[in-house]
Structure 1
Amino acid sequence: MYFVLFSVLACLLTCHCFIEKGEKNENHCGFLKRWLETTTVSVEIGKKGFHREVVTTVELSPDVLSDVRVLLVHRWPSGVYVDPYQLASLSDHSDWQILLDSAIDLEVPAHKTSGFVTYVYPTLNDRIPRLLKVTVPIHGRYHEPSFVGKTFTSVEIESPELLLRTEKCTQLNNSEPHTVVNAPCTADNSSTCLWVKTQRQQGRGHMSLQFPVGDGSLVTPVCGGTLLVTMICCAALSKFMWKHRII
């Protein structure tokens, strides 16, 4: 009799713990989705020419908790690149870390490479600031010469996706307008975690950068002139060496 009573009490206690844990998890997941709805992202482009800066400002919800983690996912086009060595030196003195999804070749032109993705992790302390600002330097690649008289080409820069997660929300489900995605937990890329993003972030639009391009119609004259000047210089140098018996 006592054994049966003890088993029933143990079962009820276990069920109560599971229910309480599920309710807490649901509450924290609800907070996470609400924070996304009240958190805003703005982007500005600084500097001119081939060397620019993408300044992203995240204004967090006023009631966000200290254990929340923020991730900015930038999807860059082939017309620009980031310098891994420059980023490494900057991250040592900045309050953010960055992870690249692939190796970056600094020398290839735009038409011989593809786009890439960066994951930017702002460093959050126990006291989370309302405003997070991340400045990522980017550089324009050289583009194919234009044969139709264009002197500039446009490169479209998309606004980053904002992702949030918290250790207290362990069971995430897709719920419109939010989506659950897998992404690296940290810049070390040692494991992946579930993050929540809102679909409305995808419709934030893009910014257009202008980079100069060469005139393709001048390829033949320039190549011909270069070859002619090279031949003249070689002939003059050979004559000088022959005249002064320089061997």
Structure 2
Amino acid sequence: MHLKQFALAPRPFQMLIILLLISPNSSKDSPCQSLNVSLTQKIDNEGFHRELKWLLERGPTSLQCKLAIRLDVGPEMYLNPDQIADLNRLGHLSVLIVGDVDVEAPAHLSKGHITYIYVPPFAERVSLNVPFHLRYQRAQISGGYGKVIVNKPSVLALSPQSEIKAPCDISNGVLCSWRNVSYQALFDEVELLVPVGDLDDYPLVSIVTLLLGCAGCIYTLSVLSTTPL
């Protein structure tokens, strides 16, 4: 439309044209479209019970944007649903586990699951401490240690125009549209070591277990035989 035609157009039509011209730019310049996010990761504790410690930092212009951290948990580790439920109930975290988690199964009989950790709003620096556990791995000759790779987390931002579908929060199964956020990862890839059973010790362990079982049965029978009816 030429400038002269625009000037002669009715005022409501002029306002509509202005809104159409401004809307794409305003959505493009929305603070939730270009986020400045950094994530620091540290793993504490030893043995089979560990804790992921994240520090998420973002710019002040994006404080109203809803963010979540997605962690794809491999079969060699797991988050305990009961433990996470307690942390959610106490308000320490807001975490949703997607998938069945068998806390008793070893690594070679387990499947991975997805975890969403929802970031508290209106804070430039957020600390998140997420407990997780390593699984027992299949024993091997000469024993040693098995390797567990902790996958790099993804940062998601709520964005109605995006194609990624994920739960809106922990309250129900309603899905929202999210998008991946490029962030500055202030950590290296993490590889943990977990002790693995030694198959060379299998005969000795079997014999000792059998002897202890027999000794327990003999003791139980002796106590029952000396107890008056």
Q: CA RMSD in A?
A: 3.1
- Aligned partner of 1:165 in structure 2 is 158
Partners of 1:137 and 1:19 lie apart in 2 by: 49
Mapping of 1:114-153 within 5 angstroms? 114-124=111-121, 128-147=122-141, 149-153=142-146
Aligned residues of 2:67 and 2:157 also touching (Cα < 8 A) = yes
Q: Do the aligned residues in 1 keep the contact of 2:56 with 2:125 (CA within 8 Å)? A: yes
Question: CA distance change for structure 1 residues 54 and 15 in 2, over 3 Å: closer, same or farther?
Answer: same
Correspondence for 1:26: 28
Shift, 1:120, TM fit: 0.5
| Partner SS state of residue 68, structure 1 | coil
Q: Distance in 1 between matches of 2:139 and 2:75?
A: 16
After superposition, give the CA deviation of every residue in 1:101-130 in whole Å (9 maximum; x if it has no partner).
112111111110011110000221xxx221
Q: Is 2:67 the partner of 1:74?
A: no
2:41 alignment partner, one of 17, 40, 43? 43
Q: 2:89 aligns with which of 87, 92, 113?
A: 92
Secondary structure at the aligned position of 2:75 is classed as coil
CA 1:114–1:203 in 2, change beyond 3 Å: closer, same or farther?
farther
How far residue 26 of structure 1 moved from its aligned partner, in angstroms, is: 2.4
Which residue is 2:61 aligned to?
Answer: 63
**Percent identity (aligned):** 22
Following superposition, the deviation at residue 40 of structure 1 comes to 0.5
Are the structure 2 counterparts of residues 189 and 204 from structure 1 closer, same or farther at C-alpha, using a change threshold of 3 Å? farther
DSSP 3-state at the match of 1:32: coil
Long gaps (5+) in structure 1 = 1-7, 173-179
Question: Unpaired runs of 5+ in structure 2?
Answer: 1-8
Contact 2:143 2:199 in 1 (8 A): no
Q: How far is 1:74 from its partner?
A: 0.7
Q: CA deviation at 1:234?
A: 5.2
Q: Report which stretch shifted further, 41-50 or 221-230.
A: 221-230
Q: Which amino acid aligns with 1:135?
A: N
Shift of 1:191: 2.3
TM-score normalised by L of structure 2: 0.80
Task: Give yes or no for the alignment of 1:224 onto 2:207.
Answer: yes
TM-score by length of 1: 0.75
Name the residue aligned to 2:149: 156
Matches within 5 A, 1:9-20: 9=10, 12-20=14-22
Q: 1:189 deviation in Å?
A: 4.1
Tell me if structure 1 keeps the 8 A contact 2:39–2:186: no
**What letter is aligned with 2:46?**
K
CA-to-partner distance for each residue in 1:69-90, whole Å, 9 max, x for gaps? 0110011111111111111111
| Number of equivalent positions | 220
Residue matched to 1:207: 190
CA distances 1:16-46 after superposition (whole Å, capped 9, x unpaired): 4344333322221xx33421xx210111001
Report what 1:191 is aligned to.
174
In 2, are the aligned partners of 1:159 and 1:204 still within 8 Å (CA)? no
